């Protein structure tokens, strides 16, 4: 997906993953901490903290049959900077990011079926 962010895993257990992300935001280096709490097989929860924003997200998986799964994503975002994007800009950025993830997942699935 072309991301230049770097991740360093600090803790990995069956229930929790904690890692840092290092990336550039508005031209300056930024570090964030992500805490992922797993709830297998139904989903997971994300808490993300950085200097610019905090985010919480829930991912819930629902079986739609033997070969289909639905994912519901719910996020709350709290910007702590005056450089926060407008709601329309943020919505566009999120859509672009998730479209890349969807494309990557579909390509991965097609390769696995070959």
SS3 content of the chain, % helix, strand, coil (to 5): 25, 50, 25
Q: What is the CA radius of gyration of the chain?
A: 16
- In this prediction, residue 13 carries a pLDDT of 97
Residues with Cβ within 8 Å of 14's Cβ and at least 6 positions away in sequence, in order, are 38
C-alpha to C-alpha distances, 56 to 48, 107, 112, nearest whole angstrom: 6, 28, 32
Q: What angle do CA 47, 60, 104 make, to 5 degrees?
A: 85
Reading the chain (114 residues) residue by residue, the pLDDT tens digits are: 456 889 999 999 999 999 999 988 778 888 999 999 999 989 999 999 998 899 999 999 999 999 899 999 999 999 998 888 888 988 898 888 888 888 888 888 888 887
Write down the pTM of the prediction. Answer: 0.77
């Amino acid at each position: 997906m072309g991301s230049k962010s770097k991740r360093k895993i600090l803790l990995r257990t069956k229930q929790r993953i904690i890692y840092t992300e290092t990336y550039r935001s508005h031209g300056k280096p930024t570090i964030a901490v992500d805490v992922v709490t797993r709830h297998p097989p139904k989903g997971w929860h994300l808490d993300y903290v950085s200097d610019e924003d905090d985010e919480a997200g829930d991912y819930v998986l629902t079986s739609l049959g033997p070969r289909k799964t639905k994912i519901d994503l719910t996020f709350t975002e709290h910007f702590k900077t005056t450089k926060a994007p407008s709601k329309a800009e943020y919505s566009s950025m999120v859509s672009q990011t998730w479209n890349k993830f969807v494309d990557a997942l579909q390509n991965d699935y097609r390769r696995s079926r070959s």
